[in-house]
Amino acid sequence: MYKISARILKGFILCLTLQAFLVHGASEEIQVYTDDKEEAGEYSIDWHNNYVISGRSTAQYAGEQAPNHIYRLTPEFNLGLSDTLELGIYLLSTRNTDGQWNGDGFKARLKYIAPHQSEGMYWGLNFETGKQALAVSQYPRDAELKAILGWNLNNWMVAFNLNTDGSFNSGSGKPTEDIDFKINYKVAEKTQLGIESYSQLGAYNHFDGFSSNSKVLYAVVDSEVLGHEFNAGIGRGMNDASDKWVLKFIVNSRF
């Protein structure tokens, strides 16, 4: 039921490549993608939580909800389709400074992780698209193509994501690029400590200077409690274009 032919897979990858030219970072999901995925027929929920302790307090466009003191909660439903493919659905929400909860739209994604050994290099692709509320996105109909590259080396884990982000809305401008990375070191059987970096680069055909876009560095811990995996971190903005302090906490519940 979950098998997929090589021809279909090649067509899928080609479609992803073409979509890169149609495709905005998603602050509801502060996560570097690795080779994690659900097995065929298995499913789970990731609970994405983040809170801007100190950040921008003025709107950058009409209708925007400035991020300062905003809490975002995003449940992500994951289903393994095959040995290499995973489907994900996000439901976006925020709690504003008045304590009011708002539904902010949805996204769907398809992730491909190429077959690989548990030790060594791996790669994959993730394509997502959806519709967001004006409060969190100036151009609601957006999409992203994420290239995934990583290594599992004894006690070390290294991963890089190159994200091409854009919108289906007219007047949204050229697609933009982000580069994210994660370096973890295993300190116990189920615990890793590390750093994560999230850097917006600007338009794909002309990268901006260091001070022009958001760049945030996180200290993180990845571990497991009572069978639930979690990723927790505190981020510090590296320039004036970034939120100054951000907390994030992701919990994975498998069923």
Question: CB–CB of 224/230 below 8 Å?
Answer: yes
Question: CB–CB of 218/181 below 8 Å?
Answer: no
Residue 1 domain-assigned (yes or no): no
Residue 62 domain-assigned (yes or no): yes
Q: What is the DSSP letter of 140?
A: S
Query: Tell me, what's the pLDDT at 21?
Result: 36
Digit-by-digit pLDDT tens for the chain (255 residues) are 444 444 444 444 444 333 333 333 337 899 999 999 999 999 999 999 999 999 999 999 999 999 999 999 999 999 999 999 999 999 999 999 999 999 999 999 999 999 999 999 999 999 999 999 999 998 889 999 999 999 999 999 999 999 999 888 777 778 899 999 999 999 999 999 999 999 999 887 778 888 889 999 999 999 999 999 999 999 999 999 999 999 999 999 988
Query: Tell me, what's the pLDDT at 252?
Result: 96
E-state strands within 83-190: 85-95, 101-113, 120-132, 141-153, 156-167, 176-188
- Six token digits for residue 84: 């290499």
Residue 107 domain-assigned (yes or no): yes
Question: CB–CB of 131/109 below 8 Å?
Answer: no
User: Residue 213 sits in which domain range?
Assistant: 6-254
- Six token digits for residue 120: 């060594």
Burial of 62 (0-12, 13-18, 19+ CB in 10 A): exposed
CATH number, residue 104: 2.40.160.40
Residue 117 domain-assigned (yes or no): yes
Residue 67 domain-assigned (yes or no): yes
Residue 40 domain-assigned (yes or no): yes
What's the whole-model pTM score?
0.86
Q: How many domains does the chain have?
A: 1
CA distance 70 to 65: 8
Query: Tell me, what's the pLDDT at 51?
Result: 97
Residue 193 domain-assigned (yes or no): yes
Burial of 155 (0-12, 13-18, 19+ CB in 10 A): exposed
Residue 162 domain-assigned (yes or no): yes
- Six token digits for residue 25: 């970072």
Write down the residue that tokens 């791996």 correspond to. Answer: 122
CA distances to 2, 84, 85 from 78, rounded to whole Å, are: 15, 13, 11
